[in-house]
A and B are shown apart, each in its own frame.
Chain A
Amino acid sequence: MVKQLTIVSGKGGTGKTTVVASFASLAANKVIADCDVDAPDLHLLLHPEVMKRTEFKGAKLAEMDKTRCIECGNCASVCRFHAISDTPSGFALNPARCEGCGACVFVCEQEAIRLRERISGYTLVSRTRYGTMVHAQLSIGEEASGKLVTAVRTNARQVAEDEHCELVLIDGSPGIGCPVVASLTGVDLALVVTEPTMSGLYDLTRIINVANHFGIRSMVCINKYDLNESNSRKIADFCHQQGIPVAGRVPYDSIVTEAMVEGVPVVEYSDGAVSKAIRAMWSYIKYTL
């Protein structure tokens, strides 16, 4: 059975990708999936060589034929996404706001609007020296990142089966909305990377509630734990109350940024305290998966 592990955080910038890249280096026989399709960074550490690129069609897009339009404004009045507005040159569509629902098409008596498919991005299957990596490229201003996350995960599962891998290692995105939920559904374990700040603590409670809501088992990694040890204790207490294991405590060290600048996972760049903590955390997670 292929196991799936997703790394999420709630709050952004806590160190998800740093952890994932190191796990990619430490874990054997896995597929890596970058599901932070909005702002993907994992490739900057794993240097994928793209083998296969597939068009991704997300939401549709309304398209206006202004030669048929009589400026009645019915379309704008039914659009709930503020995607059609009355401009000096007539009713106009803002593609960035269009959700492709088709309500405007339905009410237009002139048949001046149609829905067309749009290519919202690409899913990529790549080779890295850590194994196969599945990732994506979302075109600028496109939505449907939740759907794209699902497409990346489907591809990753397929690759894992084809290559007889034991693990899909998933880098999630910040927040608790559609891309995050899409990266969490049905996984065996969510590792939440947090930091000992008030924001980190508050956002941790929200993402843990989301994981509980969807019945996902979770663990916590306190990154930069020595930045504020009293907050780190608050996080550990919260985890204890919730019955959630603290899988690791990683100290703050500028070596992490140095490794990032060099473009390598930190566990390969240094043997210091950060790398030791991440290695220990991986051993623990591997054992409990």
Chain B
Amino acid sequence: MIISVASGKGGTGKTTVAVNLALSLSNDADVQLLDCDVEEPNAYIFFNPGAENEEVKPVHRLIPEVDEEHCDYCGKCASACEYNAIVVLPGQLKVMLFPELCNGCGLCSMVCPRDAIREVPHEIGVIRRYRSDSIELIYGVLKIGEVRATPLIDRVKEELRPEKMVIIDSPPGTSCPVIAAVQDSDYCILVTEPTPFGLYDLKLAVEVLKLLKIPSGLVINKAGVGDREVYKYSEAEGIPILLEIPYSEAMARYYSEGMPIVAAMPEWKKRFADMIEEIKLKVKDKAKEK
């Protein structure tokens, strides 16, 4: 089963929920925790693995390389490229490449009539893996200066083993990296806070999940601050509240030190585990409907 954790607004507590869920389940199941927030991966902080205990593999995507000996500067590659990542200057007998604009579709090499374009690997980041008892943590780290997160997220998700209990920590926002992270999950937990910002971005995230046809429920973090509008919205839209985590200085402090809630306050372990049981039932009901 694949459960993703997303939010719309950043900093609402996605990683907190994902990490504590994984820890709460680890007695009973083989758990995979995939941190797909490759721009700013933080889940590992709560496991404090130490670099020597991690397996690291570089990830590449393909970018074009032009063999100017075979190129006749016809410009077909440049006119085919939708991203202006390749420019041909026939007068100067020159081809210019802009790798940061290239999305690696491979069309330029397909259209080249002289086979003068080949694709070469370009490193976009790494995937790191760490095993702790029954939890396998896998996370992507996007290389500084690389702007496209989606190809790395896709590669992190290739490590996914659906026969295990899989928890996916999604990036914030509502656009392509989020879609890449949550797609194909059986259920999505939306973490929000009861504030106007939390609610506005939650609504955007709910719309994305509807589009992807992924059932969802809410975790309200920092409950007790802000207002009641998120609760009204949840009732009006029929989106269940799975768990409330109250705002407390103690919890904020544990988080700041990189300590999981369930390690500092073991009574929370059951609450997270119960939430998963509830989600399992919802996913089963959904499967029956189909």
Contacts and interface: CB of A to CB of B under 8 A. Distances in A.
B42 interface: yes
Interface in A185-215: 195-200, 202-203, 206, 209-210, 213-214
Interface string A138-170: 101111011000000000000000000000000
B211 A140 contact: yes
Contacts of B144: 176, 206, 209-210, 213
B96 interface: no
Contacts of B150: 81
B256 to A, nearest CB: 4
B174 A100 contact: no
Interface residues of B, number: 60
A78 B110 CA distance: 10
B252 to A, nearest CB: 6
A131 B93 CA distance: 49
B257 A141 contact: no
A108 interface: no
B8 A39 contact: yes
B20 interface: no
B154 interface: yes
Nearest to B43: A199
A199 B45 contact: yes
Given A44-B200, A103-B110, A177 B177 contact: yes
- Tell which of A39, A97, A261, A263 has the most Cβ of chain B within 10 Å: A39
A100 B176 CA distance: 13
B18 to A, nearest CB: 12
Interface in B233-272: 249, 252-253, 255-258
Interface stretch (A6-14, A22-30, A64-72): A6-14
B204 A140 contact: yes
B104 interface: yes
Interface residues of A, number: 64
Contacts of A198: 42, 45, 256-258
Contacts of A14: 11
Contacts of B97: none
A231 B256 contact: yes
Interface string A94-118: 0011011111001100000001000
A175 interface: yes
B208 A141 contact: yes
B204 A11 contact: no
Contacts of A145: 173, 175-176
A5 interface: no
B107 A101 contact: yes
26 contacts: A11-B40, A13-B9, A13-B12, A82-B154, A99-B103, A102-B80, A102-B82, A102-B105, A103-B106, A140-B207, A141-B175, A141-B208, A173-B173, A174-B172, A176-B142, A177-B148, A178-B149, A197-B255, A198-B42, A199-B45, A206-B39, A206-B144, A214-B145, A260-B195, A261-B226, A263-B196
- In order of increasing CB-CB distance, the 8 nearest A-B pairs are A12-B10, A13-B11, A101-B105, A38-B173, A175-B39, A143-B176, A198-B258, A197-B256
